Amino acid sequence: MKNKAPTCPVCGSAGVAHKYQIERHNFSVHACTECGSQFRYPPPKNANAFYDEGYYTGTAHFSYQDERAWERYHNYVHFARLKTIRKVTATLPQKLLDVGCAFGAFARAAAHFGEAYGLDVSKFAVQEGNKLSAQAGSTAQLFAGDLTRLPRSVQAKKIFRPNTFSAITLIEVAEHLAEPRPAMAAAYKLLAPGGVLVIQTANFEGWQALNAGPQYHYYLPGHLTYFTATGLRRMLSDIGFHDFREFFPTDFPLWAKWRKAWGEVKRARDLLRFYRMSVYHVKSKFKRGGRPLTSSYVLYALK
């Protein structure tokens, strides 16, 4: 059976055309003429198959950085990000959901300030993460599922109630969604009025992505949707979000990145990473022709 004619998963436009063939991973990318977003087409038949134990332990061809051994250092970024989120949601009871939580490090950091939950498609990651939370004496709880297929246990139904979350985060997760609009609509439903949706992903309007073309490192097997800042804002606005706040490159300061990176320093030459990181961070603050020089991007959107 032939694939139906593609439409943009971000804005819904039928004005799409083939853009790149990603030779190193053998898949095609289409682009939208309306919002500039890109997407893998045809999408893989079972995208969740990417997220097996090998993905989370760093042993698969396409894998996640297993952060369990460095959680202490990653917390510098987690707590810095939470400081920004808490400023935005200061008038709300703190109840946070981290979507694509992996082993739950960010949820455990958030549990210092209120209720904190994680959601991930990997049962392995959820089980291991809940073990870590128990060992650490953390109240953070992780569940298997995603925004469009919430867990259905009696306990979960009490937690995942509409209009109750002060913050929902998707940190390097939105690009993994073949159909982001239903997921963002589900997030909108869960958020309390005044709650914030936090999305960190690549901005394909940035010069970093434009200049790299099909060689851009973000074209990976499990990355299915490639957003522009314009397309992302448009989609969220259609759903009902407002008061957008953009951060280039991140919603936390450079010093938090330095402290996180310190945990991975093993040799003197590893210190060069701090120089490259600093140059990139500063470069991200500038634009040329109205476009940011880099493609690192975080968007806050309020309900």
**Orientation of helix 71-88 relative to helix 254-262, angle to 10°:** 160
- Give the pLDDT score at 214: 98
- Rounded to whole angstroms, how far apart are CA atoms 214 and 193? 40
- b/e code 168-205 from CB counts within 10 Å (16+ = b): bbbbebbbbbeebbebbbbbbbbbbeebbbbbbbbbbb
As a whole number of Å, the CA-based R_g of the chain is 19
- Give the pLDDT score at 1: 43
**What Å distances lie between residue 266 and 113, 270, 271, CA to CA?**
33, 7, 9
- Strand arrangement, sheet containing 115-120: 141-144, 115-120, 95-99, 165-171, 191-202, 296-302, 242-247
Averaged over successive runs of 10 residues, the pLDDT of the chain (303 residues) comes to: 78 96 96 97 86 76 75 96 98 97 97 98 96 97 97 96 98 97 98 98 98 97 97 98 98 96 86 94 97 98 98
- Give the pLDDT score at 27: 96
- Give the pLDDT score at 268: 86
- Rounded to whole angstroms, how far apart are CA atoms 129 and 80? 21
- Give the pLDDT score at 264: 83
pTM: 0.95
Can you tell me whether residue 97 is helix, strand or coil? strand
- Give the pLDDT score at 265: 84
Domain 67-206+236-302 in CATH 3.40.50.150? The answer is: yes
- Rounded to whole angstroms, how far apart are CA atoms 162 and 183? 14
- Look up tokens 């509409």; give the residue: 162
